[in-house]
Amino acid sequence: MEWRGHVYDIDVDECSVNTSICRHGSTCANIEGSFMCDCSSGFAGDSCETDINECLSAPCLNNGTCNNTIGSFNCVCAQTYTGKNCEKEPSASTGPFV
């Protein structure tokens, strides 16, 4: 009888063989016959190789303009709104920020 295909009784620790198999600082976990990457925030994919385009979910409020970046995103706020998502309205005590 001839065996073809996968041999499941020999598990390779991909995490040790290739320490950069999980990209962008994600955590590698060896599992039986394969591996898994626990992606850092902002990344997706089997090896966390894909940047998530957060702008697709329109995270910038108050007419802010979204710029997707590798691993994150930033908002260019309209008028004098501030905050990561332009969620903060200008107020006399804290603004305006330049």
Judged by CB under 5 A, does residue 80 bind Ca ion?
Answer: no
Q: Which of 40, 50, 62, 68 binds Ca ion (CB under 5 A)?
A: 68
Stretch 13-52: interaction string toward Ca ion, x if CB under 5 A = --------------------------------------x-
What distance in Å separates the CA atoms of residue 43 and residue 6, rounded to the nearest whole number? 30
Give me 17's structure tokens: 């063989």
Our CB check for Ca ion shows the closer of 12 and 70 to be 70
**Closest C-alpha to 48, from 24, 70, 69:** 24
